[in-house]
Structure 1
Amino acid sequence: MDAGTIRGLGTLLVFLAFVGLAIWVFSGRRKQDFDEANLLPFADDPEALAKLNAQKKQEKGPEQ
């Protein structure tokens, strides 16, 4: 194998890793995990967390 083939295989490997990561990130099954991680900066501030939860309930609308 020459250097061009090794570089091509490296590029292919990085591309496949990118596609796999994109699928993992945008998967619908991961939404709850990412929503929880989104609130981590507010974990030490109960007042801010309460406001965010109230806002989230308003966005959902009335439960049926």
Structure 2
Amino acid sequence: MDYGTWRGLFTIVLLVLFIAIIFWSYSRRSKKAFDEAANSIFDEDQKSESVSQESESKKDE
């Protein structure tokens, strides 16, 4: 096998890998995990706001 054949096989392997990643990322099984990860930043903001509100209410007492 010459260099051109190896390059062709490598290109096909990368194309198959790319298509597999696309199918995995858009699959219904992954949607829930991705949605949770996307909304996790908002959960952290709500937690920090509630902690700061609790500390302010304790200061007022």
Q: TM-score, normalised by structure 2?
A: 0.69
Deviation at 1:42, TM superposition (A): 2.2
Once the two structures are superposed, the pairs formed by residues 1-64 of structure 1 within 5 Å of their partners are 1-46=1-46
Higher RCO, Cα 8 Å, sep 6+: 1
Q: RMSD of aligned C-alpha atoms? A: 1.3
Deviation at 1:29, TM superposition (A): 1.1
Structure 1 alignment gaps of length 5 or more: 48-64
Q: Give the Cα–Cα distance (whole angstroms) in 1 for the partners of residues 31 and 8 of structure 2.
A: 34
- In our comparison, the structure showing a higher alpha carbon Rg is 2
Structure 2 alignment gaps of length 5 or more: 48-61
Q: TM-score, normalised by structure 1?
A: 0.66
Give CA deviations for 1:9-48 in whole Å, capped at 9, x if unaligned. Answer: 110010000010001001011111011010122232117x
Instruction: Work out the number of aligned pairs and report it.
Output: 47
Q: Give the Cα–Cα distance (whole angstroms) in 1 for the partners of residues 37 and 15 of structure 2.
A: 27
Q: Give the Cα–Cα distance (whole angstroms) in 2 for the partners of residues 16 and 32 of structure 1.
A: 25
More helix by share: 2
